[in-house]
Structure 1
């Protein structure tokens, strides 16, 4: 049965979520990511403090993260598009396969163990971090971008993995575009456009996938889940969304002003720390 928290603990949790929302919004603008790299580990600790059962804890983090990403990504993309940096042709080619991939990933979420979500996060986030830290100039290795069929296949893979990780796809599409030699600012702006394409069907899919799970935990009622529709926490969404959406345009402006290498190094180190946190959980569980 969940352990009741006193008012001070609840206020600290609320403050942590609001702060995470600000960081998420800034990162969404800076890197064209949805912010799942921040939201998922923060929510994981918060839901742990609320005694959410381990069997639903990770997918609840992922589903809530996807819901928060919807307004954050839209705000980020609008800010980047105002600078004329986004490649709308790539966004259009990826739109349908990305959505189909998200739906497939959401279906997997209904049956997959919690360890799968952690494992996917560790692998993809680590690969992204290594690229940011050590291979920022490796784009020419892959030559020209693939044709439409190849692009659609990549889009489907991005959709599946993003859905399982609870991210807006920015890390994956950033990695893909820069390895094919696209400028980093264009990769960031274009990746921001994928956020809502992934997050909207992903969040809906997680709501549906998690709907029957509450019955598996008799002690986890509506307010103890906590206040969730399926795998989307209304409390988490309500506390995270305002600050993340507010901060996203500021991050987009910084992306066009700050030294890019410094930002790449900082984000790469952060991703490695997050990956290490979940890897410890996998090895220990």
Structure 2
């Protein structure tokens, strides 16, 4: 429940996707219940994707009313994102959890460094690449996001802004990308994933239903609170603080894998 509150506030305050918060918290929390690190990571990944489904629907509605969802881009990318998601979520049901932990640690560390270093989000290119390049981008976002249980915004927003894509449209479009990633990803892990023997109570497939029920209502409830705080607080400094916490978390997960 505390994770749901924290993820909701951060989502509204900084525009950070819930998965980047939910996965590491559940990963360490499940281990506190006696779950092995390998099992904890795959269950955290699947549960995080499940929580993103309802929150992304709410976010899409909000952003689309403001005209910030690029449906033309989604039409071009949807199939490639979906292919990446199906491959990635299938792999989650097959690979050792230690590799997922390492992958999440790398993505979290790079995301944190991006927040700390590229504060002005200056574009490196003037426009998006050709169709082939965009298909690779979409597939990669779907693949890596589903593998580590995040909604896509962590990867798609900085990637799109590198190509001089408007930041507000990148955030709105990322919400829709999150639904394309989370829904098939969560369903694949729910119905194809084999529940580990040491899984916590309430786990079906690889999704922990108790975690889902506790997190989702509070994430949705507290996202507006974060949005209100964003008006009153210095979001830029808070983003740096979160980036430092995320960097420490990512490095901590990498240490657990390699040390």
CA shift for structure 1 position 31: 4.8
Match for residue 173 of structure 2 among 146, 171, 190: 190
Q: Which residue pairs with 2:22 in the alignment?
A: 39
Question: 1:71 Cα deviation (Å)?
Answer: 0.7
1:142 to 122, 125, 135: 125
101-110 or 77-86, which deviates more? 77-86
1:11 aligned residue: none
Q: Does 1:54 align with 2:37?
A: yes
CA drift at 1:138? 5.2
Aligned pairs for 1:124-203 within 5 A: 124-137=107-120, 139-203=122-186
The structure that has the greater radius of gyration is: 1
Given the two structures, how large is their TM-score scaled by the length of structure 2? 0.90
For the 8 Å contact 1:22–1:244, the answer to whether it is kept is yes
Q: 1 CA distance for matches of 2:177 and 2:74?
A: 7
Q: Which of 172, 180, 187 matches 1:204?
A: 187
- How many angstroms does 1:97 deviate by? 1.2
Which of the numbers 54, 69, 73 marks the counterpart of 2:56?
Answer: 73
Task: Give the match for residue 98 of structure 1.
Answer: 81
Aligned to 1:247: 222
From 91, 100, 114, the counterpart of 1:108: 91
Q: Following TM superposition, by how much is the alpha carbon of 1:263 offset from its aligned partner in structure 2, in angstroms?
A: 4.5
Instruction: Provide the residue aligned with 2:100 in structure 1.
Output: 117
Q: Give the Cα separation in 1 of the matches to 2:215 and 2:105.
A: 23
CA distance in 2, matches of 1:32, 1:102: 22
Q: Aligned partners of 1:46 and 1:280: how far apart in 2?
A: 17
Equivalences for residues 4-15 of structure 1 within 5 A: none
Structure 1 residue 77: deviation in Å? 2.4
Q: Is the 8 A contact 2:20 2:154 kept in 1?
A: no
**Aligned-partner Cα distance in 2 for 1:256–1:147:** 38
Residue deviations 1:197-229 (CA, integer Å, cap 9, x gap): 111111111113422x44xx3xx4xxx632111
RMSD: 2.2
Matched residues in 2 for 1:62 and 1:81: separation? 27
Please report how far the alpha carbon of residue 154 of structure 1 lies from its aligned counterpart in structure 2 after TM superposition.
0.6
Residue by residue, what CA displacement relative to the aligned partner does 1:167-194 show, whole Å, maximum 9, x if unpaired? 0011000110121122332222221221
Q: How does 1:235-274 map to 2 (within 5 A)?
A: 235-251=210-226, 261-274=236-249
Partners in 2 of 1:200 and 1:138 — Cα distance?
Answer: 29
Residue pair 2:5, 2:219 contacting (<8 A) in 1 also: yes
Residues 127, 165 of structure 2: 8 Å contact kept: no
Q: CA deviation at 1:252?
A: 5.1
Cα–Cα, structure 1 residues 193 and 253, in superposed 2: closer, same or farther, change >3 Å?
A: farther
Unaligned runs of 5+ in 2: none
